[in-house]
Amino acid sequence: MRSIYFDYNATTRLDSRVQGEMEPFLSEIHGNPSSVHHIGRRARASLDEARDRVAVVWKCKPSEVVFTSGGTESNNLAIFGTARLLKGKKNHLITSQIEHHAVLHAFEYLEKKEGFHVTYLPVSPEGMVDPVSLKSALTPATGLVSIMTANNETGAVQPVADFSKICREASVLFHTDAVQSFGKLPFDSIHQFGADLVSVCAHKFHGPKGSGALFIRSPLLPEPILVGGGHENERRAGTENLPAIWGLMVASELFVRTPVFDSARVEPLVAQLREMAQSIPGIHIRTSETHSLPNTLAMTVEKADSISLMAALDLEGICASSGSACSAGSLEPSHVMKAMGVPPEEANALIRFSLGRDNTEEEVEYVGKRLLQLIKQVQAWGK
Ligand SMILES: Cc1ncc(COP(=O)(O)O)c(C=O)c1O
């Protein structure tokens, strides 16, 4: 059976050059960067070099780069760490209804268990957060705003620079989950987001899994969420995962400065898929043609359900997603679709195709052609 991978927003394959550069750190360079002997000092030198080189890509100070275990931890550290720092002084927090669960569940936790008041901003039918709604949600008690740069399910790209400006003018901290934008959107510097905190994860741009970073604008010092040793300048305890950190650095140099998702190549493929999908009765495209990632196409299907759709596609060798990978296999309708006003039965019939560097026109044609038949089949299963 052939295999077609249209799920690059879930993860990407580790690039062979990145893998090659990581290998010495899985063998000879095995020291603990905190050890004072020469083997430890060798590892420390590489850790320092990795931080310096990521800072060069980001155009920030090396001390503003904190290495983490991925996007989830970066988001958790940004949100818990900042909210707890502000507790008692600023107890109101703002986020949006379409965030990844690594953000949403952190806010829900702070609301339910730690006495914070949280506003969840609504979105338009195209999945966009309106800067005006952010402005009017701010109160003198607001301490932190967190709004993602690009949505993982629809690809909607938010006006993050507008949000950060509003927050700066109100002296409110701003965090953005930029996990889906690295490697997909043009990158000049970490300051382009205008944010105080920016979450990054390597496996979305052909780096290793379990490797992330958080930009923390100095002199901000969030409360740590992992305590123990004084690693990462007291911001994240735990012996550093040097192979993963080195992999994140190499992937950042190779695939962020010049996005590895080459829009000139991937956009026409997505446009072709959009055209083919649009012609199928019962399909509603949920990705805007203007404000979205170049590689993403989300659609809902009438009289179907996500699990059957994923199963039918997989039987044909086509890997897609029903939204965020973390809720794949769950019967819960997509919270992103619900926030966009999609009726509940259709919010639970989402297909997200996300393309990448190895996809071809021939694959798009194959998927586009098979789609009509597969949807008919799923609709018949439901009868
Ligand atoms: C927008 C967004 N934020 C956070 C994450 C979580 O990242 P990780 O898998 O590295 O924990 C993901 C991954 O799907 C994501 O798409």
pLDDT at site 302: 94
* Residue 333: band (very low, low, confident or very high) from pLDDT cuts 50, 70, 90: confident
The alpha carbon torsion through 206, 209, 211, 213 (nearest 10 deg) reads 60
How many C-beta neighbours within 10 Å does residue 30 have?
A: 14
Q: Please report, for the chain, the start and end positions of each structural domain, with discontinuous segments joined by +.
A: 4-12+261-381, 16-255
Whole-number Å distance, alpha carbon 70 to ligand 1 midpoint, is 7
- Residue 330 confidence (pLDDT) above 70: no
- Residue 325 confidence (pLDDT) above 80: no
In contact, 144 and 94? CB cutoff 8 Å = yes
Whole-number Å distance, alpha carbon 178 to ligand 1 midpoint, is 9
Q: Which atom of ligand 1 approaches the CA of 324 most closely?
A: 14
In contact, 202 and 244? CB cutoff 8 Å = yes
The mean pLDDT value for 230-241 works out to: 93
Check for a shared fold between 4-12+261-381 and 16-255.
no
Nearest to 281 by CA among 313, 312, 304: 304
The mean pLDDT value for 293-308 works out to: 95
Write out pLDDT tens, residues 346-380.
999 999 999 999 999 999 999 999 999 999 888 88
Whole-number Å distance, alpha carbon 318 to ligand 1 midpoint, is 22
Query: Torsion-angle region of residue 232: left (phi > 0), alpha (psi -120 to 50) or beta?
Result: left
- Residue 327 confidence (pLDDT) above 60: no
- Residue 324 confidence (pLDDT) above 70: no
CATH code for the domain defined by 16-255: 3.40.640.10
Query: Torsion-angle region of residue 301: left (phi > 0), alpha (psi -120 to 50) or beta?
Result: beta
Q: Is 319 a catalytic residue?
A: no
Write the CA distances from 174 to 46, 58, 60, 170, 336, integer angstroms.
Answer: 31, 18, 17, 11, 21
Q: Which atom of ligand 1 approaches the CA of 10 most closely?
A: 14
The chain-wide mean pLDDT, for the chain, equals 95
* Residue 345: band (very low, low, confident or very high) from pLDDT cuts 50, 70, 90: confident
The mean pLDDT value for 325-344 works out to: 79
pLDDT at site 31: 97
Write out pLDDT tens, residues 95-145.
999 999 999 999 999 999 999 999 999 999 999 999 999 999 999 999 999
The mean pLDDT value for 317-324 works out to: 86
Instruction: List residues near ligand 1 (CB under 6 A).
Output: 70-72, 75, 100, 102, 148, 152, 177, 179-180, 201, 212, 324-325
Q: What is the DSSP string of 177-243?
A: E-TTTTTTS--S-GGGG--SEEEEEGGGGTS-SS-EEEEE-TT--PPPSS-SS-HHHHTS-S---HH
- Residue 257 confidence (pLDDT) above 90: yes
Nearest to 205 by CA among 5, 9, 2, 4: 9
User: What residues have CB less than 8 Å from 343, skipping those under 6 apart?
Assistant: none
Nearest CA to ligand 1 atom 5: 71
Whole-number Å distance, alpha carbon 210 to ligand 1 midpoint, is 10
3-state secondary structure at position 279: coil
- pTM score over 0.75: yes
- In CATH terms, the superfamily for domain 4-12+261-381 is Aspartate Aminotransferase, domain 1 (3.90.1150.10)
What amino acid occupies position 88?
G
325 vs 138, residue with greater confidence: 138
* Residue 382: band (very low, low, confident or very high) from pLDDT cuts 50, 70, 90: confident
- Residue 20 confidence (pLDDT) above 70: yes
Q: Which atom of ligand 1 approaches the CA of 70 most closely?
A: 10
pLDDT at site 379: 85
Beta bridge partners of 7: 354
